[in-house]
Amino acid sequence: MRVGVADTTFARVNMGGIAIGELRKHASVSIERVTVPGIKDLPVACKKLIEERRCDIVIALGMPGGAEKDRVCAHEASQGLIMAQLMTNTHIVEVFVHEDEAEDDRQLAWLAEQRTREHAVNAVRLILYPKELEKDAGTGQRQGFEDAGPARR
Contacts of a copy of itself in 79-118 (CB under 8 A): 79-87, 89-94, 98, 105-106, 108-109, 112
Tally of CA atoms within 13 A in the half-sphere of 43 that contains its CB:
16
User: Whole-number minimum distance, CB 147 to a copy of itself, in Å?
Assistant: 9
Candidate residues 24, 25, 30, 51; the one interacting with a copy of itself per rule CB under 8 A: 51
User: Whole-number minimum distance, CB 32 to a copy of itself, in Å?
Assistant: 11
Q: Give all strands of the β-sheet with 57-62 in edge-to-edge order.
A: 30-36, 2-8, 57-62, 92-96
The residue type found at 36 is V
Candidate residues 17, 26, 27, 129; the one interacting with a copy of itself per rule CB under 8 A: 17
Q: Does 144 bind a copy of itself (CB under 8 A)?
A: no
**Are the C-beta atoms of residues 94 and 100 closer than 8 Å to each other?**
no
Q: Does 33 bind a copy of itself (CB under 8 A)?
A: yes
**Are the C-beta atoms of residues 95 and 61 closer than 8 Å to each other?**
yes
User: Whole-number minimum distance, CB 87 to a copy of itself, in Å?
Assistant: 6
CB of 25 or CB of 83, closer to a copy of itself: 83
**Are the C-beta atoms of residues 6 and 19 closer than 8 Å to each other?**
no
